[in-house]
Amino acid sequence: MKCMYCGSVESKVVDSRQNEDGTSIRRRRECENCGKRFTTYETIEHTPIMVIKKDGSRQAFDIQKVKKGIMKAIEKRAVPMAAIDKLVSDIQRSIFNLLDQEISSDYVGDMVMDGLKELDEVAYVRYASVHRQFKDINSLLNEIEQLIKLKDNLSKTNK
């Protein structure tokens, strides 16, 4: 690391600490040439992931946008914030683990729906109605019927 005071590239790490959210490491360094101290930060470099929208346009993946959609779906529902944060974190981890630079918005939406199905059925239906763009009440009823069948099958296998 190049010293900001004298330009020397010889320095030693005096102290290292992880920041509160664990996304970077703060390092205190001391220049071996001039003896002055300075701070550097080490972070993970993410390759941008592009989301291919339904209209064919591309947009950088933004986990905050995903969280905002989930928050709208669970509005006025008794879902703990910790469960929402875990879902958002799981989705983000899954997307980065794909190692693809492009993913479809449908894929992201399906991941959200799968997570909401486990958390809250009403939030799931709310999100599905937007994500799947139901054209009429029959489309919505079909989705609810599939959810009921899935729930019945799960309860039968757990007995």
16 close to 27: Cβ distance less than 8 angstroms: yes
129 and 61 both lie in a single domain: yes
pLDDT in tens, 49-79: 999 998 999 999 999 999 999 999 999 999 9
Q: Measured between alpha carbons, how far is 91 from 111 in angstroms, rounded to an integer? A: 7
pLDDT in tens, 88-143: 999 999 998 888 899 999 999 999 999 998 899 899 888 988 887 777 778 778 87
Range of the domain at 117: 50-157
21 and 97 both lie in a single domain: no
Per-residue pLDDT, 132: 78
140 and 69 both lie in a single domain: yes
In a domain, 6, yes or no: no
Q: Measured between alpha carbons, how far is 90 from 68 in angstroms, rounded to an integer? A: 15
* Cα 24 to Cα 17, 27, 49, distances in angstroms: 9, 10, 20
Q: Measured between alpha carbons, how far is 120 from 112 in angstroms, rounded to an integer? A: 12
In a domain, 18, yes or no: yes
